[in-house]
Amino acid sequence: MKMPVAFLLLLALLNAMEVHGEASEGQCDYKLALDPRPHSVSILEFGAVGDGKTLNTIAFQNAIFYLKSFADKGGAQLYVPPGKWLTGSFNLTSHLTLFLEKGAVILGSQNPSHWDIVDPLPSYGRGIELPGRRYRSLINGYMLQDVVITGDNGTIDGQGSVWWDWFNSKSLNYSRPHLVELVSSEHIVVSNLTFLNSPAYNIHPVYCSNVHIQNLSLYVPPNSPYTVGIVPDSSDNVCIEDCSIAMGHDAIAIKSGWDEYGIAYGRQTTDVHIRRVHLQSSSGSSIAFGSEMSGGISNVQVDKVHLYNSLVGIEFRTTKGRGGYFKDIIISDVELDNIVTAFVACGDCGSHPDEDFDPNALPVVDQITLKNVIGTNISIAGNFRGIQESHFTNICLSHITLAINPASSSTPSWVCSYVSGFSDSVSPEPCPDLESSYSNSSSSACFSLLKPYGRTAAF
């Protein structure tokens, strides 16, 4: 599974199965076996008060410190009953289930002194919004195993309005916190919850393996600045399924580190499967790749997704200085509604952490397939702007029908530069760079991915 060749063979096999009416699966394929924990305590036992006013940070920290002692006894559950549980940031521990009952709301404190300041991530070298350190997230995991954050549709509400105001007025002293951040951790499940009003990202697994994110609702007001839903970052074996997300910026953003820091850290994001999600993004993309991608991003499968009311449907962002790559990405069975630009691949999108980036570190973009797409009320079909010194190659478009909003009929539907690839049954007709069998791409790259349509010699 780690090897692209094996992955392509698997895709070919799954595609063959699809023809016979079976769904293709990837990292979401395994059965989540969640045994109940043998021990459970309620946050009430640690003196927490669910009045929305009392600060419960110490109660959460003490409860989790206590539950640490059950790590080698099958783990334990921290039960959060109905109520409004105000807290500052706290850490989780291994073999822990955090369970939020129906009506339980964890509220993030609006007082910045309740949020610790921590070092930047090594693959970013600085805070993402401001140089230097950053706020610790509300709920954190560091080097953990077997953590479940779940409930009966309980809520984690970041009360982010103060953070959005500080961001907009440029009065932040450190980069904003996220709701949940898991660092260097394995076997993580986040499920059956609602996330509201995150200060910045909602869920950020970074340097993680085996992350399963399932059946969540994530909302913020559409004008909240640079709020992002789920951000798999330098992580592998990630499944995101059955989620509804509406963000100010990107709904799902796949990343892997920033310029020289990401290159030096060198951990890619790979083996990601996203399916059955409903995504909207008022000022960003429903699904974004990058712009931070310096560790590389590969083997991503996206299928059965509904993207709507967004500025961009699917976007690949990179720039000179990033290094890294996007490769072996297959996106299929996509419904797009009310989207300004359906697809973007941008070779000059993204800023740099500092002046020390290497402008000769050119990203590679290769083998991106988009197939089985239906769109309504789209203004621009595709905007593919590669890099002169590093063309985007093997961009494959197949069975795509986009209904262009008549008000946009004067602007070109497709814009292309420094890209090459193939297309098959695409309407409106794509730019010549993506149209012909005489383009510079090697046809075998699309071939295995387009196999279900029985194209053999045509490319």
Ligand X SMILES: *[C@@H]1O[C@H](CO)[C@@H](O)[C@H](O)[C@H]1NC(C)=O
Which of 191, 285, 301, 423 forms a contact with ligand X (CB under 6 A)?
Answer: 191
Residue nearest to ligand X (CB): 153
Stretch in the footprint of ligand X (CB under 6 A) among 73-81, 168-176, 273-281, 342-350 = 168-176
Asked if 283 interacts with ligand X (CB under 6 A), we say no
Instruction: Closer to ligand X by CB, 276 or 455: give it.
Output: 276
Asked if 77 interacts with ligand X (CB under 6 A), we say no
Tell me the closest approach of the beta carbon of residue 150 to ligand X, in angstroms: 4
Judged on CB neighbours under 10 Å (0-12, 13-18, 19+), 44 is middle
| Owner of token pair 């814009």 | 415
Tell me the closest approach of the beta carbon of residue 142 to ligand X, in angstroms: 3
Peptide bond into 409 cis (omega under 30): no
Asked if 443 interacts with ligand X (CB under 6 A), we say no
Instruction: Closer to ligand X by CB, 15 or 94: give it.
Output: 94
Q: What count of residues does the chain have? A: 459
Asked if 327 interacts with ligand X (CB under 6 A), we say no
Stretch in the footprint of ligand X (CB under 6 A) among 125-133, 148-156, 264-272, 359-367 = 148-156
Asked if 405 interacts with ligand X (CB under 6 A), we say yes
Asked if 402 interacts with ligand X (CB under 6 A), we say no
Asked if 189 interacts with ligand X (CB under 6 A), we say yes
Q: Please state, in angstroms and rounded to a whole number, the distance separating the CA atoms of residues 129 and 379.
A: 31
Asked if 150 interacts with ligand X (CB under 6 A), we say yes
Asked if 171 interacts with ligand X (CB under 6 A), we say yes
Stretch in the footprint of ligand X (CB under 6 A) among 222-230, 321-329, 334-342, 366-374 = 334-342
SS3 for the chain, per residue?
A: CCCHHHHHHHHHHHHHHHHCCCCCCCCCCCCCCCCCCCEEEEHHHHCCCCECCCCCHHHHHHHHHHHHHHHHHCCEEEEECCEEEEECCEECCCCEEEEECCCEEEEECCCHHHCCEECCCCCCCCCCCCCCCEECCCEEEECCEEEEEEECCEEEECCCHHHHHHHHCCCCCCECCCCEEEECCEEEEEECEEEECCCCEEEEEECCEEEEEECCEEECCCCCCCCEEECCECCEEEEEECCEEEECCCCEEEECCCHHHHHHHCCCEEEEEEECCEEEECCCEEEEECCCCCCCEEEEEEEEEEEEEEEEEEEEECCCCCCCEEEEEEEEEEEEEEEEEEEEEECCCCCCCCCCCCCCCCCEEEEEEEEEEEEEEEEEEEEEECECCECEEEEEEEEEEEEECHHHCCCCCEEEECEEEEEEEEECCCCHHHCCCCCCCCCHHHHHHHHHHCCCCCC
Return the structure tokens found at 61: 């920290």
Asked if 34 interacts with ligand X (CB under 6 A), we say yes
Instruction: Closer to ligand X by CB, 214 or 270: give it.
Output: 214
Asked if 56 interacts with ligand X (CB under 6 A), we say no
Instruction: Closer to ligand X by CB, 134 or 263: give it.
Output: 134
Tell me the closest approach of the beta carbon of residue 171 to ligand X, in angstroms: 5
Which of 45, 119, 152, 389 forms a contact with ligand X (CB under 6 A)?
Answer: 152
Stretch in the footprint of ligand X (CB under 6 A) among 21-29, 42-50, 316-324, 336-344 = 336-344
Within a 10 A sphere around the Cβ of 443, how many other Cβ atoms?
A: 16
Tell me the closest approach of the beta carbon of residue 200 to ligand X, in angstroms: 14
Which of 185, 270, 280, 377 forms a contact with ligand X (CB under 6 A)?
Answer: 377
Q: Looking only at residues 196 through 255 of this chain, which bind ligand X when binding is defined by CB under 6 A?
A: 214-215, 217
Cβ partners under 8 Å of residue 337, min gap 6 = 306, 307, 308, 309, 375, 376, 377
Asked if 168 interacts with ligand X (CB under 6 A), we say no
| Owner of token pair 């895709």 | 11
Asked if 61 interacts with ligand X (CB under 6 A), we say yes
Tell me the closest approach of the beta carbon of residue 5 to ligand X, in angstroms: 25
| C-beta of residue 192 within 8 angstroms of C-beta of residue 150 | yes
Tell me the closest approach of the beta carbon of residue 398 to ligand X, in angstroms: 19
Instruction: Closer to ligand X by CB, 288 or 395: give it.
Output: 395
Stretch in the footprint of ligand X (CB under 6 A) among 9-17, 184-192, 230-238, 316-324 = 184-192
Stretch in the footprint of ligand X (CB under 6 A) among 47-55, 152-160, 277-285, 345-353 = 152-160
- Identity at 339, one-letter amino acid code: I
Q: Considering CB under 6 A, how many residues would be counted as binding ligand X?
A: 31
Which of 62, 282, 338, 443 forms a contact with ligand X (CB under 6 A)?
Answer: 338
Tell me the closest approach of the beta carbon of residue 431 to ligand X, in angstroms: 10
- Residue ranges binding ligand X (CB under 6 A): 32, 34, 61, 91, 112, 142, 150, 152-153, 155, 166, 171-173, 189, 191-192, 194, 214-215, 217, 338-340, 377, 379, 391, 405, 420, 433, 440
